[in-house]
Amino acid sequence: METITISASKTYKVITDSALLARAGGFIRNALGEKGKKLCIVTDDQVDPLYTAPLEASLCEAGYETVTFAFPHGEASKSLETLSRLLEFLAENQLTRSDALIALGGGIPGDLTGFAAASYLRGIPFVQVPTTLLAAVDSSVGGKTGVNLKAGKNLAGAFWQPSLVLFDMDTIKTLSYDLLLDGIAESIKAGAIADKELFLYIQKAERLTSPETIAHLSRRAIEIKREVVEADERDTGPRQLLNFGHTIGHAIEKSSDFSITHGHAVAMGMAIVSKASQEMGWSQEDCHAPIVNSLRRFRFPLDCPFTAAQLSEAARKDKKRMGDSITLVIPVTLGNCQLKSIPVSQLEDFIKAGLS
């Protein structure tokens, strides 16, 4: 069992192990204390038939009363409409401030549940139980919650730290290779901003998707995110480094109407940004080659189907835009990124350099 402690506005543990769902009730009881009586499991209609029953059984054994809110899977459900239905469900089932929510699933249930927990009764506890590698290494840790607006991704939300994160490694056995890649992309991103050795590990690994390799990548990604979140919980400085590849990645997601998933889009974004930074002379060494070589080892598709004009237009609505400028994360050396603000008017040329 791996345990990583996050010390932000709330201190909590990220616990990774096999067969955790069957033991979840005890861990959640320890994290929430004796106050919680009723728990609402929030999940989607794909995860619900797989994992709600064993989680619910463990929670009931620990003395909890449970209710379940399941919504249609997919990015379209990460909306104010679903949030509103969830809040009404909580009120109808009379959850109080001493109760809590459980996010069961990938990043969409996690972000939606966290935002509901931050909003309902002006804030109640919640626990993250990620069932995808992407959610485990990224969205479940750090307290960013939110939903999409028509204008763009994650434009409404709140900072609200979970009380506990439980990642049952057995859940990734049900993931397709493409879904596994989504989490691996975020692990490679973590290496690009803070761990050069991660790239050497990837190049030497004989079995890229073995449990040992996935456990190592996920642990390092969570440890790096912990360091950044503890230094800048509210995302006003160093935490923005976690957005490497994300400004362009989010633009790719939106331009594809979310048919290109988050991790695949971020992989393309990292390739574009590292190439553009090299072309602009902003990198002190070739970061593009090791990043792209590592992505290709996992067989990421890296050919972006959109033009610089299309991506620039989509990125103009990114939440990281400040007035007439936008902040990019630039790889200076491998394992060392910096923030660089450029005028929005120069963004298309930057992207064009990365696509060349």
CA pair distance 282, 293, nearest whole angstrom: 20
The domains located in the chain, with CATH, are 2-174 (3.40.50.1970), 179-355 (1.20.1090.10)
> What is the C-alpha R_g of the chain?
20
Closest CA to 140 of 76, 218, 201: 218
Instruction: Write the CB contacts of 259 (distance below 8 Å, at least 6 apart in sequence).
Output: none
Q: What is the pLDDT of residues 1-47, one digit of tens each?
A: 999 999 999 999 999 999 999 999 999 999 998 766 899 999 999 99
Whether this prediction's pTM lies above 0.95 is answered by no
Report, as ranges of residue numbers, the positions in the chain whose pLDDT lies below 50: none
pLDDT at residue 37, as a whole number: 86
- Pairing type for strands 11-17 and 2-7 reads antiparallel
pLDDT computed for residue 35 by the predictor: 67
Rounded to a whole number of angstroms, the distance between the first and last alpha carbons of the chain is 45
pLDDT for res 356: 87
Both tokens of 93, joined, read 């089932």
Q: Answer whether 47's CB lies under 8 Å from 106's CB.
A: yes
- For residues 353 and 330, the answer to whether their CB atoms sit within 8 Å is no
**Nearby residues of 79 by Cβ (< 8 Å), 6 or more positions away:** 147, 148
Nearest CA to 354 among 333, 328, 336, 335? 328
Given a contact cutoff of 8 angstroms between Cβ atoms, the answer to whether 44 and 108 are in contact is yes
- DSSP for 213-229 reads HHHHHHHHHHHHHHHHH
For residue 154, give both structure tokens. 């994650």
Round to whole Å and give the CA distance between 18 and 21: 8
Token look-up 């996010």 returns 103
Strands (E), the chain: 2-7, 11-17, 38-44, 65-71, 100-105, 126-130, 144-149, 152-159, 164-168, 321-322, 325-333, 336-343
Residues 6+ apart with CB under 8 A from 148: 75, 78, 79, 154, 155, 156
